[in-house]
Structure 1
Amino acid sequence: MADFHVQPESVYAEESGVARFQCQIHGLPEPLISWEKDSRLVDTKDERYTLLPTGVLQITGVREEDSGKFCCVAHNSAGVKHSTEALLTVSGSQSSVYKEPMIVVGPENLTLTVHQTAILECVATGYPRPIVSWSRLDGRPIGVEGIQVLGTGNLMISDVGVQHSGVYVCAANKPGTRVRRTAQGRLVVQAPAKFVQAPQSIARPVGTTAIFTCQAQGEPEPQLTWLKNGQILEPGGHVKLRNNNRWKNTLLSTLM
């Protein structure tokens, strides 16, 4: 297992506010992440504590007793590693004083491949506590299949497909009003190229035209190239190339 390439950093938070710690490490197999506070395992059954699959630890409604030293722990079959410790310092605050909603951490731009899991963070503060909601910038519904909200407003999309690509908008709404703050991030889902229609072997008399059709799909859009006996076949002379659409290509060859 490699060393941590992102170490948690010390945080100052007001009472009733939000604290966030992050760590990142690579390894094979992929390490599992947990967190310790003052050398004791953090109890993520506490609804105020949210551990995201990315290794991020979020603490909402921060209290004085949350103060302490936090450490990220990575473990797999190769062993266990501890990050450096990060200190959470909680300062007193008049929690009943009105505060405008504010997004502390918004969604990042992500590029994933199909079947991976997308985690879009949204951490908001304010008093009264803002309500977090999600939408797509293009107005299309986010849907419900494979969609889960983690903690107080993080969006998780399991088994992503190209249909999930788009700009996602996180909104922190003041309850009972139209006051809100927004942040957005773009999700790009790539798919490997695959053939939808492959060319078929044919037999034609001399002097007639042989037609081969090839259709492929993928994201980004695949580029189609024709080969003859392992050599790239360029259009010209008795060979013509017809682009039916972005993914479909027809080769016409007059047999000499």
Structure 2
Amino acid sequence: MPQGSSACVSLPAPRASVRAITLENQLVVLATAAADAGRYYVQAVNEKNGENKSSPSIYLNVAVNKKYRGSHDSEAPADPVAPVIVIPPKNTTVVAGVSEATLECVANARPVEKLSLVWRRNTVEVASGVGSFGRRLTILNPTSADVGMYVCEASLLDSSVKPAEARAFLSITEAPYFTAEPRRKMMGEVEKSVDIQCQARGVPMPKLEWYKNAVPLSKLNNPRYKVISSMGLQVKKLQPSDAGIFQCFARNSAGEAQVHTYLDITSMAPAFTAAPVDITVTDGAVATFTCQVSGAPNPAIIWKRDTQILASGSMQISRFTLLESGGLQIQPVALQDTGMYTCYAANSEGAINASASLTVWSRTSISRPPMDRRVIKGTTAILECGATHDPRVAFDCDRVLFCSSSPSLGRYVWKKDEELVRPDQRGAYQPAGGLLAQSVKLVRDIGDYTCDVISQAGNDPRRPRLEV
């Protein structure tokens, strides 16, 4: 029957209490009697324009038992006929927010005038909303509190015959709604990841499906697109081709909802966030140049010395290592590594470079170590300590200790038994930086002495012993 239409049934005699028109426009004649015989037809009326049409008629013939032929209805059998459910209620599902939900239960018995219909929910009788001789239960503005099992019980009043009952479950569905959704426009950088939020709820729990430019992601089969149930969609290692409209659909039996975002992918030329700087190290040490670069896509890093490639993402030579940060590590450093080093960074948007120098000093070492001495008590012992150092490393007046207090200068330091020996202390004096003159008069002057050569290019100790 078209929407906006209604139906009515033409009945041959007025017995409304024993006749029921169901929700599906079926006519049910209860406790049929001779008076119900006759011709029936259905008339459909379009409520919008008043147009109506009638169906072909059908004839209902009621056969009466010979024993009661000629009797009135009131003379029908006195023995009661137990109730039976003719039209049981159906499991019903409605969408939250509808104005009403209706359950229907049509029963028959004799005498039909004593037939009673009662509705219950969770063993509790439901009185409100019952109409049409108890055959219909209408629940207005149903909510989740109305969900449950409903029982229609048909019984005969003043009779011991067994009642009949039928059950139906009322459930309420809720159209999907979003609890987390993305911004209308999102920006992402090449090679980075982006999270597109989309979470929804509803009854039953909705299923989420993602689309990109109206194509289901399941058809795109892109391994960089990962649906995460607790968040939404994650797109890894962004590429320019990922730009477009991403839609999130939430669907369940109550309906669907959708949100979308436009993902724009940005590209940026390389830029230094930490350029390499000049460094000075000692022969045999480790040298590390910094080179931190931003850009999209991620710039490729190459390190060169003059025109020679030292390290890149695809190759490196011995002792030279390209760090994850983009820096260059040289280990161990040799004197011949002194020179200018250049970091090159490039991507599809451009290229940059920056240079820094490496200075390698010769390591300071003691070339003339002090020797153990045995002297006569009362004489003066001379301990000599000579060092070789890089000419670019300045020493404290080159030989004389305590000529300057600058800690950046190389110097000789004498100790006895790990205690600093100062000039003119206990008969000691230093005529030159690497010389120690010790007047041996007491037992305490005998023991282990240490010559420490300290400089920016390394330190070197030697330990002579003085005995009498």
TM-score band by shorter chain is 0.5 to 0.7
Superposed, 1:1-256 pairs within 5 Å as: 26-27=1-2, 29-38=3-12, 46-60=16-30, 64-76=34-46, 77=49, 78-89=51-62, 91=64, 92=68, 94-108=76-90, 115=98, 118-127=102-111, 129-136=114-121, 139=122, 147-157=129-139, 168-175=150-157, 179-185=162-168, 193-200=176-183, 201-203=185-187, 209-217=193-201, 221-233=205-217, 239-244=225-230, 250-254=232-236, 256=238
SS of the residue aligned with 2:108?
A: strand
How far off its partner does 1:178 sit?
A: 9.2
Q: Distance in 1 between matches of 2:123 and 2:194?
A: 44
Residues 88 and 187 of structure 1: CA distance in aligned 2, closer, same or farther (over 3 Å) = farther
Q: Is the 8 A contact 2:118 2:125 kept in 1?
A: no
- TM-score computed with the length of structure 2 as normaliser: 0.37
In structure 2, what residue type is equivalent to 1:66? D
Q: Distance in 2 between matches of 1:126 and 1:73?
A: 30
In structure 2, what residue type is equivalent to 1:132? L
SS of the residue aligned with 2:35?
A: helix
Structure 2 runs not aligned, ≥5 long: 69-74, 239-468
What does the per-residue CA deviation read over 1:124-152, in whole Å, with 9 as the maximum and x for residues that have no partner? 3245834222345xx3979788x443234
What does the per-residue CA deviation read over 1:92-119, in whole Å, with 9 as the maximum and x for residues that have no partner? 5644313322223322455666648545
Q: Distance in 1 between matches of 2:154 and 2:202?
A: 35
Q: Is the 8 A contact 1:101 1:130 kept in 2?
A: yes
How far off its partner does 1:123 sit?
A: 1.8
Higher-Rg structure is: 2
Q: Is the 8 A contact 1:101 1:126 kept in 2?
A: yes
Residues 232 and 51 of structure 1: CA distance in aligned 2, closer, same or farther (over 3 Å) = closer
SS of the residue aligned with 1:225?
A: strand
Residues 152 and 140 of structure 1: CA distance in aligned 2, closer, same or farther (over 3 Å) = closer
In the alignment of these two chains, the number of paired residues is 219
How far off its partner does 1:239 sit?
A: 4.3
Q: Is the 8 A contact 2:116 2:157 kept in 1?
A: yes
Q: Distance in 2 between matches of 1:182 and 1:55?
A: 23
Query: Using CA pairs below 8 Å that are at least 6 residues apart, which structure has the higher relative contact order?
Result: 1
User: What is the percentage of aligned positions where both structures have the same residue?
Assistant: 18
In structure 1, what residue type is equivalent to 2:24? T
Residues 150 and 196 of structure 1: CA distance in aligned 2, closer, same or farther (over 3 Å) = farther
In structure 2, what residue type is equivalent to 1:34? C
In structure 1, what residue type is equivalent to 2:116? I
Structure 1 runs not aligned, ≥5 long: 1-25
What does the per-residue CA deviation read over 1:74-100, in whole Å, with 9 as the maximum and x for residues that have no partner? 222443222322315263564431332
How far off its partner does 1:155 sit?
A: 3.0
- TM-score computed with the length of structure 1 as normaliser: 0.60
Show the counterpart of 2:289: none
Q: Is the 8 A contact 1:106 1:184 kept in 2?
A: yes
Q: Distance in 1 between matches of 2:144 and 2:61?
A: 40
Q: Is the 8 A contact 1:120 1:155 kept in 2?
A: yes
In structure 2, what residue type is equivalent to 1:170? C
In structure 1, what residue type is equivalent to 2:11? K
What does the per-residue CA deviation read over 1:202-225, in whole Å, with 9 as the maximum and x for residues that have no partner? 446677653322233456653212
What does the per-residue CA deviation read over 1:164-202, in whole Å, with 9 as the maximum and x for residues that have no partner? 676543222344769322223456666655545432244
How far off its partner does 1:47 sit?
A: 4.2
Residues 225 and 81 of structure 1: CA distance in aligned 2, closer, same or farther (over 3 Å) = same
SS of the residue aligned with 2:182?
A: coil
SS of the residue aligned with 1:89?
A: coil
Residues 30 and 229 of structure 1: CA distance in aligned 2, closer, same or farther (over 3 Å) = closer
Q: Distance in 2 between matches of 1:188 and 1:81?
A: 36
Residues 173 and 140 of structure 1: CA distance in aligned 2, closer, same or farther (over 3 Å) = closer
Q: Is the 8 A contact 1:100 1:127 kept in 2?
A: no
Q: Distance in 2 between matches of 1:118 and 1:205?
A: 56
Q: Distance in 2 between matches of 1:229 and 1:66?
A: 64
